[in-house]
Structure 1
Amino acid sequence: MINSYRCPFLQRIFLFPVLYTVLFLVGIVMNGLAMWVFFQIPSKSNFIIFLKNTVISDIFMILTFPFKILSDAKLAPWTLRGFVCRVSQVIFYFTMYISILFLGLITIDRYQKTVTPFKTSSNLLSTKILSVVIWIAMFALSLPNMILTNKEQTREKVKKCALLKSNFGLTWHETVNYICQLIFWISLFIIVVCYMLISKELYKSYKRTKCTGKVSRKTVNLKVFIIIAVFFICFVPFHFTRIPYTLSQTRDVFECSAQNTLFYMKESTLWLTSLNACLDPFIYFFLCKSFRKSLLNMLRKQASSELGTKIKERTDGDSSEETPM
């Protein structure tokens, strides 16, 4: 295992608390609105069920940001860092891999929709059971990371979460990391293959409609590529960094300079991962017709209500100011 005191503790960059604050403010508004809209949409398809699970996962992730912000910016007592190591950081990773799994399932659903556009969703109960199983399985993997972060907390130890884990806790953390890497790479493989097949279907559709001039359909269908764009932007960089970074935390295999570099790479790519919570609402808007329709209707009603209120206030004001001759 790693000699924990061989390298000095790294200073956290103040820029990251600022960036996470921006993500928190934008993300809580966008996902709060998305949650409110989804509450009005019945779970009538696999796609909508997957999207609802994704927005719940994103909200849980966003709620961990304030703890990281306060801890990294040193705006709270050092004991908060212990809570970050033991609880909020574990929830962050827990929700990250739930999002990855559901993005993979959403991609499979979009491929099926591209191949058989008129086929309606069936067996919604199985989809709901699958969603529950994903949550339970990821929670079962994550809970020991909370329990096994059980060493006595001190001002120095909380600066490095690995120092709070028992020997078995470090082993479990490393094992879970490999399992999560497997989840990521399987999801990446599924997404890439599905999008290759989707591209093939869209190209066939384009060739069939080219002679009639109906190219607009192809342009609309290209919106589906927003999923793979979000996946590559948010998750791919981090997963090329995570294994060597985890090894630097659990084993004595890297020099101090390499540990420092891996730490800052991990922090940078982790922020990109967090960005997923703000990009997912664009997936809901562009790919889910029910979500887009409900959101636009809500905005129209809100605008009409505000306009009606202003007109009423102006009318009332005018009548109250009238002076009889």
Structure 2
Amino acid sequence: QAACNARLPQLSPAPKPPQTHTGNLQGERPSLNCTSDNRIRQVIFPLLYTLLFLVGLTMNGLATWIFFKISSKSNFIIFLKNTVISDILMILTFPFKILSDAQLVPWVLRGFVCQVSQVVFYFTMYISILFLGLITIDRYQKATSPFRTSTTRSLLEKTPKNVKKCALLKSEFGLVWHETVNYICQLIFWVNLMVIVVCYILISKELYKSYQRTRCTGRPSKKSVNLKVFIIIAVFFICFVPFHFTRIPYTLSQTRNVFDCSAMNTLFYLKESTLWLTSLNACLDPFIYFFLCKSFRKSLLGMLCKDTASPGLGAQIAGQNERDDTEDTPL
């Protein structure tokens, strides 16, 4: 029998088809073996988010208390109040991300971060983007017509292995849905970016015309005061533009097998860094309230001067707060 077996032709195993990166969502998930530097992920970013949490909660808590004292008599005030609420909700998600990234909680709670708190974070981020667009439109109306009134399927089972990456908790349909939502969010961002850029081009033209008129008449120019409105576009570009240039390639690295491990790690660090800039928006929005909302500014200054100024000065500030709100577009 051994001799017969020796004479039989030996069948070699069929060659495996070469692996190609077709870019579709089917097939093997992104590699579990592709890990990032734990020192950056578990130490640096948690410390940065802790700083944002402390500063942002303090500033937005103060802003909330002040806005409770200001009546909602204009679109502008309403937009700012809603932005404060959105920022506070975003800030409240920071502790979950801090504990998860630092791996100070069990893996089950890290799954909660992937499925719940990150959803809230991104939801509030795009709410803030939308309100920045509305505030810009309101400021454009104020600059051009200052006296016109403005009118899923079931999730995969969570295990210590797949909770390492949020994408691994999603089914095939979940990956498709994640990518689709990303494109929708990108559309929201780019539409608002175009609205803001167009409005600021028109605002700049109006400011230039105003500057030309004041130069011809010899009256002192108020250009330096009007330039405060550009704080909105500065915050928008600092906080949101870098993240949205990074988000599409990072999402593809999580849903499609199109990048090697080195590129995935690079995209991860870019995403986390630009996401921190996005979170910084919660700390920068109070500056928008202070520089552009006269009611907010006077209420804050009145509160700060309450203990040191005379009662007459406090009453004078309060009176001005009620009757002088020229920077707010009427409702």
TM-score, normalised on structure 2? Answer: 0.82
- Could you tell me whether the CA contact under 8 Å between 2:167 and 2:175 is conserved in 1? yes
Matched residue, 1:22? 51
Which amino acid in the other structure matches residue 207 of structure 2? L
What is the 5 A alignment of 1:303-318?
303=308
Deviation at 1:177, TM superposition (A): 0.2
| Distance in 2 (alpha carbons) for counterparts of 1:45 and 1:280 | 18
Matched residue, 1:181? 186
Deviation at 1:278, TM superposition (A): 0.2
Over 3 Å counting, the alpha-carbon distance change for 1:246 and 1:215 in structure 2 is farther
The SS at the match of 1:211 is helix
Deviation at 1:35, TM superposition (A): 0.7
What is the 5 A alignment of 1:241-252?
241-252=246-257
Structure 1, residues 194-244: CA drift from partner, whole Å, max 9, x if none? 000000000000011123444441110000000000000000000000001
Hey, which of these two has a bigger chunk of helix by percent? 1
Matched residue, 1:42? 71
RCO (CA 8 Å, sep 6+): is it higher in 1 or 2? 2
The SS at the match of 1:298 is helix
Structure 1, residues 266-298: CA drift from partner, whole Å, max 9, x if none? 000000000000000000000001111111112
Matched residue, 1:81? 110
| Distance in 2 (alpha carbons) for counterparts of 1:149 and 1:89 | 18
Matched residue, 2:101? 72
Largest Rg, 1 or 2: 2
| Distance in 2 (alpha carbons) for counterparts of 1:79 and 1:303 | 51
What is the 5 A alignment of 1:167-316?
167-303=172-308
The answer to whether structure 1 residue 5 and structure 2 residue 31 are counterparts is yes
| Distance in 2 (alpha carbons) for counterparts of 1:303 and 1:15 | 41
Which amino acid in the other structure matches residue 86 of structure 2? S
Count the aligned residue pairs: 281
Over 3 Å counting, the alpha-carbon distance change for 1:149 and 1:256 in structure 2 is farther
Matched residue, 1:94? 123
The SS at the match of 1:74 is coil
| Distance in 2 (alpha carbons) for counterparts of 1:258 and 1:79 | 28
| Distance in 2 (alpha carbons) for counterparts of 1:72 and 1:232 | 26
Structure 1, residues 94-135: CA drift from partner, whole Å, max 9, x if none? 00000001100100000000001122344xxxxxxxxxxxxx
| Distance in 2 (alpha carbons) for counterparts of 1:213 and 1:241 | 49
Structure 1, residues 123-155: CA drift from partner, whole Å, max 9, x if none? xxxxxxxxxxxxxxxxxxxxx4xxx57221112
- Could you tell me whether the CA contact under 8 Å between 2:30 and 2:256 is conserved in 1? no
| Distance in 2 (alpha carbons) for counterparts of 1:84 and 1:281 | 27
- Could you tell me whether the CA contact under 8 Å between 1:149 and 1:164 is conserved in 2? no
What is the 5 A alignment of 1:88-167?
88-122=117-151, 144=152, 148=153, 150-167=155-172
> More displaced, 295-304 or 88-97?
295-304
- Could you tell me whether the CA contact under 8 Å between 1:114 and 1:198 is conserved in 2? yes
Which amino acid in the other structure matches residue 164 of structure 1? L
Which amino acid in the other structure matches residue 30 of structure 2? S
- Could you tell me whether the CA contact under 8 Å between 2:211 and 2:221 is conserved in 1? no
Seq. identity, %:
77
Deviation at 1:302, TM superposition (A): 4.3
| Distance in 2 (alpha carbons) for counterparts of 1:246 and 1:186 | 20
Which amino acid in the other structure matches residue 151 of structure 1? L
Unaligned ranges ≥5, structure 1: 123-143, 306-325
| Distance in 1 (alpha carbons) for counterparts of 2:255 and 2:60 | 35
Unaligned ranges ≥5, structure 2: 1-24, 311-331
TM-score, normalised on structure 1? Answer: 0.83
- Could you tell me whether the CA contact under 8 Å between 1:54 and 1:102 is conserved in 2? yes
